[in-house]
Chains A and B, each alone.
Chain A
Amino acid sequence: MNVDWRNRNGRNFVTSVRSQGNAPNCWAFAMTALYESMIRIEHSLWTRRSESDVARGAGKQAWDWGNAGEAHIFVERYGLADPGCFPWSEAAALYTAKPHGPALSALPMSPTPDRPGRTMRIRPGTFVGLTTDQQKKDWLDLVGPMVVQVPVRWDFSAVGSQIYTPNPNSPIRGDHLMLVIGFNDTDKCWIVKNSWGPNWGDGGFARIAYAGNMLEPRAFVGVRGTNPDPWAKRRQRTGALVQGGNGGSNNNFELFVLVGGNIEHWYRENSNWQMPWNQLGPLQSADPWRPLPADAVDVPAVVQSSFNRNYELLYRCSESGLHHAYFDQASAGGSTPGSSATRATPSGTPSGYQDSSRATGAHLVTSKWSP
């Protein structure tokens, strides 16, 4: 049995190798790597989390040692923010929730005020420690990577791409935490991701022989139930209401509702203090020869995509399965509300949504909407 989360079914679930610099904060790096991998496994998302957030949030500075339990207690209670909220640093930090501002700019770093909205959360009670090799391998196979705290010897600094066996004559330096990302029963070794940068080991990873009995005596810890922050999920949002970039303040609400088989587009002009709702009317095909049938049976799922900020709509139809329509923001000519909004362009897929519908070049005509 071989498991390597860098390549499971052709996909990678392990985030990039980091360096803890000179700080004895391996515990924060190993746990952060674990959360990032579990988010990837559980939500198919790549997301970068901040080692400083967990370390300083847990009340530790760059010179403090720690363990997995401390890190997880903080994350379970307060979540784990991204580096944009609180970046990694070895400088002393005052970890508070105080708002930033000119008067406070001289204070040591603290997280941005919007931290609660940008943290990954995790379901309580899902932190487990496993002690037998069978349990550890089952978890690595069926759930994901795990963190281990082990005593390391001086010779571990010299590990390369070969399978490492600890030399008993090499003095022990102390305890170190790493992410176990798999095992290989053929080569009889564990596979670990370290936090000593990509120049250590084999690109930051190493293989440790079962025969060395280095990891076996220690418990492996794993977590489940990650709940990524909304920003990390930004490309996966669906719903009938999105906040787009249109309007006088570039933050109008766009609403799509089902009215008698048609999808109607409304928007709220957020730059107007009265925040009026405006009706743009039903979606109509930009191609007059291919009218959009009034056969919608569901409110669409909507996302503002990274394709020119287009609004992408997906909804179920009575006659043609799923239907994909989009509003071409690129040709909207600016952010003036209403007058610059464009008509929906149906993809015309007869039997279900096809992502390549636009690539075919079919039905790409757009037209400006006029009231």
Chain B
Amino acid sequence: MDHDDSSRPDRTESRRAMRPTFGELRRQLAENGDPWTIDPLISDDEPLPEYPLGGMPEDAGERIPSALIDPQVDVRTIIAELPPNDPGLRERWAEVGVPLDGVPPEATSDRPDDSGNR
């Protein structure tokens, strides 16, 4: 089916009109004393580019249960089970005292390998 776009408001133009311009942002940055500035080659009249986003609010999509780690947990205890192969990373682990034998510092895991990654 053909759509007659002539009867519709020009959404592109209206959206473009809503977009802040580089000039407005320059003024905001100056007023706020922000430490970063806009490329001087960009004119004030030019609207800010509207790059696409895509982050659905986290409570609206599927979540992975128990993925969040307790804030009190030391990351080094949860990563020790899978030591790195990269030599630079292994050196770094040794520097900060993470064991490289696959045994977590304060806990051992007797969970069988159910990864299916063969």
Residues of chain A having any CB pair with chain B under 8 Å: 8-9, 11, 20-28, 41-44, 65-67, 69-70, 72-73, 121-124, 126-132, 134-135, 138-139, 141-143, 149-150, 152, 154-155, 157-160, 162-165, 167-171, 173-177, 196, 200, 209, 219, 221, 224-225, 227
Chain A, residue nearest B113 (CB):
A123
Q: B35 to A41, Cβ gap below 8 A?
A: no
Q: A43 to B85, Cβ gap below 8 A?
A: yes
Q: A225 to B115, Cβ gap below 8 A?
A: yes
Q: Which of B32, B54, B61, B86 contacts A23 (CB 8 A)?
A: B54
Please indicate the chain B residues that have their CB under 8 angstroms from the CB of A121 in the complex: 116-117
Q: B54 to A25, Cβ gap below 8 A?
A: yes
Give me 11 other A-B pairs in contact (C-beta within 8 A), A22-B52, A165-B35 excluded. Answer: A24-B52, A65-B56, A67-B62, A69-B67, A70-B61, A123-B115, A124-B114, A142-B93, A155-B28, A155-B48, A169-B32
Q: Which of A8, A124, A158, A170 contacts B115 (CB 8 A)?
A: A124
Please indicate the chain A residues that have their CB under 8 angstroms from the CB of B76 in the complex: 138, 142
A25 to B53, CA, bound (A): 7
A160 to B41, CA, bound (A): 12
Please indicate the chain B residues that have their CB under 8 angstroms from the CB of A164 in the complex: 36
Please indicate the chain A residues that have their CB under 8 angstroms from the CB of B74 in the complex: 138
List the 10 closest A-B pairs by CB distance, nearest first: A175-B55, A24-B54, A9-B88, A26-B54, A138-B75, A65-B56, A162-B36, A123-B115, A129-B68, A227-B117
**Distance in Å from the Cβ of B105 to the closest Cβ of chain A?**
13
A139 to B73, CA, bound (A): 12
**Distance in Å from the Cβ of B23 to the closest Cβ of chain A?**
11
Q: B69 to A157, Cβ gap below 8 A?
A: no
CB of B45 within 8 Å of the partner chain: no
Please indicate the chain A residues that have their CB under 8 angstroms from the CB of B49 in the complex: 157, 200
Chain B, residue nearest A22 (CB):
B52
Chain B, residue nearest A162 (CB):
B36
A168 to B71, CA, bound (A): 28
A121 to B68, CA, bound (A): 22
**Distance in Å from the Cβ of A308 to the closest Cβ of chain B?**
30
**Distance in Å from the Cβ of B35 to the closest Cβ of chain A?**
6
Q: A175 to B52, Cβ gap below 8 A?
A: no
Residues of chain B having any CB pair with chain A under 8 Å: 19-20, 22, 25, 28-29, 31-32, 34-39, 42, 48-58, 60-64, 67-69, 71, 73-76, 78-79, 82, 84-89, 91-93, 96, 98, 114-117
**Distance in Å from the Cβ of B62 to the closest Cβ of chain A?**
5
Chain B, residue nearest A135 (CB):
B75
* A129-B84 in contact given A73-B62, A157-B50 (Cβ < 8 Å): no
* A44-B86 in contact given A142-B98, A165-B36 (Cβ < 8 Å): yes
Q: B55 to A224, Cβ gap below 8 A?
A: no
Q: Which of B20, B48, B63, B79 contacts A224 (CB 8 A)?
A: B79
**Distance in Å from the Cβ of A78 to the closest Cβ of chain B?**
12
A3 to B118, CA, bound (A): 32
Q: A174 to B32, Cβ gap below 8 A?
A: no
Please indicate the chain B residues that have their CB under 8 angstroms from the CB of A196 in the complex: 51-52
Q: Which of B29, B71, B96 contacts A135 (CB 8 A)?
A: B71
- Chain A residues touching B, majority SS: mixed
A174 to B69, CA, bound (A): 26
Chain A, residue nearest B82 (CB):
A224
A219 to B70, CA, bound (A): 12
Please indicate the chain A residues that have their CB under 8 angstroms from the CB of B56 in the complex: 27, 65-67, 70, 175
* A142-B61 in contact given A41-B84, A69-B67, A155-B25 (Cβ < 8 Å): no
Please indicate the chain A residues that have their CB under 8 angstroms from the CB of B53 in the complex: 24, 26, 65, 152, 173-176
Please indicate the chain B residues that have their CB under 8 angstroms from the CB of A169 in the complex: 28, 31-32
A73 to B78, CA, bound (A): 21
Please indicate the chain B residues that have their CB under 8 angstroms from the CB of A141 in the complex: 92, 96
Q: A69 to B39, Cβ gap below 8 A?
A: no
5 inter-chain pairs at a CB distance below 8 angstroms, sorted by A residue, are A20-B52, A43-B85, A128-B67, A139-B75, A158-B22
**Distance in Å from the Cβ of A26 to the closest Cβ of chain B?**
4
Chain A, residue nearest B48 (CB):
A157
Q: B54 to A160, Cβ gap below 8 A?
A: no
A73 to B61, CA, bound (A): 11
Q: Which of B51, B57, B71, B75 contacts A142 (CB 8 A)?
A: B75
Q: B79 to A139, Cβ gap below 8 A?
A: yes
